[in-house]
Amino acid sequence: MKRSVCVAGGGASGMMAAIAAARAGADVTILEKNDRPGKKILMTGNGKCNLTNLDMGIFAYYIEDGASPVGRILEQFDEKALIELFKELGMDVTVARDSYVYPKTQTASTVLNVLRRALKEFGVSCKTDTKVTNIKKESSGFSIETDKGAFFADRVIISMGGKSFPKTGSDGDGFLLAKKLGLSMQPDYPALTALICPVEGQRMISGLRADGEVSLLIDGKKVFRDSGQIQFTDYGISGIPVFQVSRFASALLWNRNKGKKARRRIEAAVNLFPDMGEDELFLKIEGQLKRFSGMTYEEAMTGLLHKKWIEFFGKRLGLFSYPDAGSIPQKTVKELASELVKLSFPVEGVKGYDFCQVTGGGVDLSCVDEHLQAKAYPGLFLTGELLDVTGKCGGYNLQWAFSTGYIAGTCAAE
Ligand SMILES: Cc1cc2nc3c(=O)[nH]c(=O)nc-3n(C[C@H](O)[C@H](O)[C@H](O)COP(=O)(O)OP(=O)(O)OC[C@H]3O[C@@H](n4cnc5c(N)ncnc54)[C@H](O)[C@@H]3O)c2cc1C
């Protein structure tokens, strides 16, 4: 007789788990609370779905413990295996910026439709508008309670996601269920998100984008840095490099006092000239001010900085009070160069679950074995964002979802 497998949650990892289990010969049912599975996939990669990255490795995940099993889990179904599987399912991929993998169509709905077609091809039954409320271990198999009645299965895979973008269906039910099952949890927090850190004059730079570097400092010590396009907003800073460093601020701020200022001093330092040293930049600005001596500060700086930055630093450092750019004291020019390479944004909070790309924290990895099977409940598996693993931006979170889904699904079918 075929083994019956029930997948609670039809997101990226749940659909992959269902496909893997069905391909391996199981009789599979997905229980999804939305009216269709995979809603979040449509939002990924700015609508293009950055499904994995060729530059894969444990470094791509925020891992503090060298003994973490993340690497051993990922190598069982890595980025090459994922790309190969998508090819088998009828989808080609394309690579951008040397390593970021997207569907060839560069459209997230392609990924979702290919997964949905595979569910159909392998005979997976998908019960939508069905909310899982509880899971109980029975003498043989599991009973899965839902708002549409109970289901029974030999094996169950919990793929209910975290809390980010709750409108997509992942609103923390998975965490509640894991708690009910007595699994050990790490406190959750929004990860890959924007930083709330307005500075005086923020209004002047709101809407600006600049290529630069962001460093996160905790009590003055640099903990992480990333570069790319930074977006300046009315509340603080956003953009991929900000997301990459946000996790460290959020882990400290969120659970302590829900976004209010923490006791530890957290600061984002923005370098608007990462390709130039501070001294070199000082000489460049000084040269420019001398060259246009006799003109205003604003006129002299045109071409070197965006006019909004000219206004921002002009007000901040009192540069408009000099009628002649050539008369600005060296000390003030040094101050300007210094601010341009390490403009400090004291972090007050982070944007929450309605904004962040993934949820940090969740079910402790020590609760599962290398096949994602709960040690306390043989036959029950956990996948994706529900687990306490966060990847950086760049396709690493979907790879984690797909890898864990594939491994759990394959194993559950055995
Ligand atoms: C805006 C945005 C952009 C992103 N872009 C990328 C990207 O380009 N690359 C990348 O790698 N990652 C990206 N991510 C992250 C990635 O989408 C997630 O890490 C991934 O979807 C997690 O998969 P999952 O299966 O664990 O959870 P989810 O995809 O969240 O799926 C969970 C599913 O469970 C269902 N569910 C929840 N509770 C219940 C219940 N009680 N009963 C039944 N069903 C339930 C939900 O409705 C949902 O369908 C992005 C995320 C966001 C929000």
Write phi, then psi, for 255 (nearest 5 degrees): -80, -15
Give the mean model confidence (pLDDT) for residues 236-246: 97
For residue 361, the CA-to-ligand 1 centroid distance in Å is: 15
Nearest ligand 1 atom to the CA of 15 is 25
Nearest ligand 1 atom to the CA of 169 is 47
Element (H, E) at 229: strand 221-232
* Cβ-proximal residues to 311 (8 Å cutoff; 6+ apart), any chain: 204, 298
> For residue 257, what pLDDT is reported?
53
> For residue 259, what pLDDT is reported?
47
Domains of the chain (ranges plus CATH)? 4-190+356-412 (3.50.50.60), 196-273 (no CATH), 278-341 (1.10.8.260)
CA gap 399, 214 in Å, rounded: 25
Please name the residue whose Cα sits nearest to atom 26 of ligand 1: 384
Please name the residue whose Cα sits nearest to atom 23 of ligand 1: 12
For residue 107, the CA-to-ligand 1 centroid distance in Å is: 17
Residue given tokens 């109970």 in the structure block: 150
> For residue 254, what pLDDT is reported?
80
Ligand 1 near 45 CB (within 6 A): yes
Give the mean model confidence (pLDDT) for residues 385-396: 97
DSSP-assigned states of every residue in 330-387: HHHHHHHHHHHH-EEEE--EE--TTT-SEEEEEE-GGGB-TTSBBTTSTTEEE-GGGB
Please name the residue whose Cα sits nearest to atom 3 of ligand 1: 44
Ligand 1 near 359 CB (within 6 A): no
Q: Is 111 helix (H, G, I), strand (E, B) or coil?
A: helix
Give the mean model confidence (pLDDT) for residues 107-129: 98
Ligand 1 near 132 CB (within 6 A): yes
Sheet bearing 4-8, strands edge to edge? 125-127, 27-31, 4-8, 155-158, 380-382
Flag whether pLDDT at 304 surpasses 90.
Answer: yes
Helices 330-341 and 278-291: angle between axes, nearest 10 degrees: 130
Q: Is 122 helix (H, G, I), strand (E, B) or coil?
A: coil
Nearest ligand 1 atom to the CA of 14 is 25
Percent of the chain with pLDDT over 90: 94
Per-residue model confidence as pLDDT tens digits over 17-34: 999 999 999 999 999 999
> Which alpha helices (DSSP H) does 89-136 contain, by range?
108-121
pTM for the whole structure: 0.95
Flag whether pLDDT at 262 surpasses 60.
Answer: no
Q: 8 near 148, Cβ under 8 Å? A: no
For residue 172, the CA-to-ligand 1 centroid distance in Å is: 11
CA gap 280, 295 in Å, rounded: 23
* Cβ-proximal residues to 62 (8 Å cutoff; 6+ apart), any chain: 191, 247, 360, 390, 391, 392
Flag whether pLDDT at 255 surpasses 70.
Answer: no
If one counts every other C-beta atom within 10 angstroms of the C-beta of residue 112, the result is 22
Please count the residues of the chain: 414
The β-bridge relationship of strands 27-31 and 125-127 is: parallel
Nearest ligand 1 atom to the CA of 31 is 43
Ligand 1 near 385 CB (within 6 A): yes
Beta bridge partners of 373: 381
Give the mean model confidence (pLDDT) for residues 133-158: 97
Q: 381 near 371, Cβ under 8 Å? A: yes
- Angle (CA) 231-235-236 rounded to 5° is 45
Ligand 1 near 50 CB (within 6 A): yes
Element (H, E) at 146: strand 142-146
Give the mean model confidence (pLDDT) for residues 381-393: 97
Nearest ligand 1 atom to the CA of 52 is 11
Mean pLDDT estimate for the chain: 96
Give the mean model confidence (pLDDT) for residues 305-314: 97
For residue 15, the CA-to-ligand 1 centroid distance in Å is: 11
> For residue 234, what pLDDT is reported?
97
* Joined tokens for residue 323: 């009628």
- Angle (CA) 38-367-65 rounded to 5° is 95
Flag whether pLDDT at 349 surpasses 50.
Answer: yes
Per-residue model confidence as pLDDT tens digits over 166-187: 999 999 999 999 999 999 999 9
Nearest to 243 by CA among 130, 350, 383: 350
Q: 79 near 53, Cβ under 8 Å? A: yes
